[in-house]
Structure 1
């Protein structure tokens, strides 16, 4: 199993945010029941790509060598018991490791079967980022994924939720409430400006709707 590791950080924004987030966590060691390493070097790793071999004892042994690690509890990868058992097994080998759940709400894969519940909800509520308004052609950085409208301009569902709040509750209910041994959540793809163009606030859709309402019914196509 390949694990991406790093010992030092270049001064890039994404890594700076990562360091800042981990610093906040590491700065609260007094409140933890274990000892987080605060001296250098700290060895960190990311393991959220295929193959997802988290339940493999040899993979767990490799992960346990790190000081902190990002892992991906993607939907349907395993039961709640397997998720929690995986974290507990790694921490049994290294009680002081910091294990952070990797999540991404900015884009959703277009075909991966495990993400179908997300795609179904996004389709039903029109929570994708569209070229124009609240429907039609979806926008994405490439052909593999589509971008979600995670802003406060997205429409609300029947429970008053937008994608950003619905996703947060989903992660809590399906992961955090089931695996209390986790130490944090890492949200990927948080950019200082959008990396794709789209109708983020639904302006085109609202303008078209207003124009349509101004046209007499007898004259509408």
Structure 2
């Protein structure tokens, strides 16, 4: 009996002394947290599986605001991924899956052409100003020719429903004209205006972020 009690005590002592360095509270797991904690880095994964995991991770990150400062930086190396993993995967996987936010068209033209061809998803902060607003459809078509998802976050406070619907129809028509020149594929066009919004696929067959046809 004494031996069994002693063994029980030693077992409980070991449990209480177990390190908890790798235990991450669930409330701390956000889209900015990396799924690659220390133990995971030591596990070998085939490149295609690692790339798939990274693709899913990049797609869950909060939109990154592109500015004239960061547009020339290597953004694919600035996520929460360990640098060793970020360097081991093609950079285009990051740009094809991450969502980028734009409030000005200036940063777009500062991006290297190799990067601009990879970007698939953008959010545009479109505000009604007294001055001339950028022709976003034209800019996106010329600067980011491989987009598959465009979200317009519109601030048209004080405008009536007819004006809003008219603006949306103009955007859709312009987008259809731009997409018509593509040999294949299209764009998921979304508009968010407060509680109102819509989504419409414009173009030919739907394609995923990797450029493969999606027949779902």
Q: Larger RCO: Structure 1 or Structure 2 (Cα < 8 Å, ≥ 6 residues apart)? A: 1
Higher helix share: 2
Higher strand share: 2
What TM-score results when the alignment is normalised by the length of structure 1? 0.32
What TM-score results when the alignment is normalised by the length of structure 2? 0.33
